[in-house]
């Protein structure tokens, strides 16, 4: 019975996919409405942070990694997508409680649209800086389809995780505050500006059990190093993303009725 319900809900999402896209586009436009620099902020913030990290670790700590700024950029843009998408989606049911009660479209569109708008933001930002990576890595043109694959699997992972946090925050409002602190810790245990190979045990295992590590490492390998992913790399990314989405969606469906009562 649950499998039938799940199948019907997925079918409903597919039928109304145009509406989901329109909701995502509207949220993206609203995000930059009234800003002088508009969508340029999508690269200004991560680029500024990357420059700061590069200054500290190259000039102060003397990190010896060739083209270190590009190493940081290949990890920090995906990290900003993950962190911003999760942070924003956590409060969507509370902020959009009136839309949630209308039920004129699949209610999961509310968190999904929030995450998709951030994903579009992420892709637009990378589209602007990708020529810079091609300057240091001529083979990147051949690897671009692999980058798209990583990004799509990354999106699937964030969709599942976002549903979980959105549901949890509906029952325990403190989750959004815990998350703002947790994101700082999560950033430091994710190899955005360092490689997990630079860590020794027992510290390395903390990094390796972090699912985001596998995505950031994949971005590093393709964008910075210009290498193909191994079959095991792709399998790990696919497993993490698909399992997270399935668990997140089932978790949402099992709690949808309670969310409506709670909000």
The reported pLDDT for the residue numbered 162 is 95
The reported pLDDT for the residue numbered 103 is 67
Q: Note the maximum CA span of the chain.
A: 61
The reported pLDDT for the residue numbered 247 is 94
DSSP 170-236: HH-TTHHHHHHHHHHHHHHTS-SSS-GGG--TTTHHHHHT-HHHHHHHHHIIIIIS--PPPHHHHHH
Describe the crossing of helices 41-54 and 109-136 by its angle, rounded to 10 degrees.
50
Per-residue pLDDT of the chain (263 residues; tens, 9 = 90+): 566 667 778 888 888 888 888 888 888 777 776 666 666 777 888 888 888 888 888 777 777 788 888 999 999 999 999 999 999 999 998 888 777 777 677 888 899 999 999 999 899 888 888 888 887 777 777 888 899 999 999 999 999 999 999 999 988 888 888 888 899 889 988 999 888 777 777 778 888 889 999 999 999 999 988 888 999 999 999 999 999 999 999 999 889 888 877 76
Q: Which two tokens stand for residue 39?
A: 């969508």
The reported pLDDT for the residue numbered 4 is 66
**Predicted model pTM:** 0.90
Interatomic CA distance for residues 130 and 127, integer angstroms: 5
CB 54 within 8 A of CB 162: no
The reported pLDDT for the residue numbered 6 is 73
Q: How far is CA 90 from the centre of its chain?
A: 13
The reported pLDDT for the residue numbered 39 is 66
């Amino acid at each position: 019975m649950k499998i039938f319900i799940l199948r019907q809900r997925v079918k409903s999402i597919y039928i109304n996919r145009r509406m989901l896209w329109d909701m995502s586009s509207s949220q993206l436009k609203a995000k930059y409405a009234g800003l002088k620099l508009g969508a340029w902020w999508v690269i200004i913030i991560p680029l500024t942070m990357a420059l700061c990290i590069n200054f500290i670790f190259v000039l102060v700590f003397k990190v010896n990694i060739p083209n270190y700024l590009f190493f940081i950029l290949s990890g920090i843009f995906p990290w900003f997508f993950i962190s911003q998408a999760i942070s924003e989606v956590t409060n969507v049911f509370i902020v959009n409680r009136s839309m949630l009660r209308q039920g004129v479209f699949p209610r999961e569109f509310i968190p999904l649209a929030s995450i998709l708008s951030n994903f579009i933001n992420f892709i637009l930002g990378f589209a602007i800086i990708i020529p810079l990576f091609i300057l240091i890595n001529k083979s990147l043109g051949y690897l671009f389809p692999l980058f798209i694959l990583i990004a799509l699997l990354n999106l699937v992972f964030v969709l599942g995780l976002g549903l979980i946090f959105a549901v949890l925050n509906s029952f325990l409002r403190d989750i959004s505050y815990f998350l703002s602190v947790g994101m700082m810790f999560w950033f430091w245990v994710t190899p955005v500006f360092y490689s997990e190979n630079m860590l020794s045990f027992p510290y390395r295992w903390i990094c390796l059990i972090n699912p985001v590590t596998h995505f950031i490492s994949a971005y590093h390998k393709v964008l910075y190093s210009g290498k193909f992913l191994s079959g095991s790399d792709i399998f790990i990314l696919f497993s993490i993303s698909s399992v997270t989405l399935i668990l997140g969606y089932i978790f949402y469906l099992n709690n949808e009725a309670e969310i409506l009562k709670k909000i």
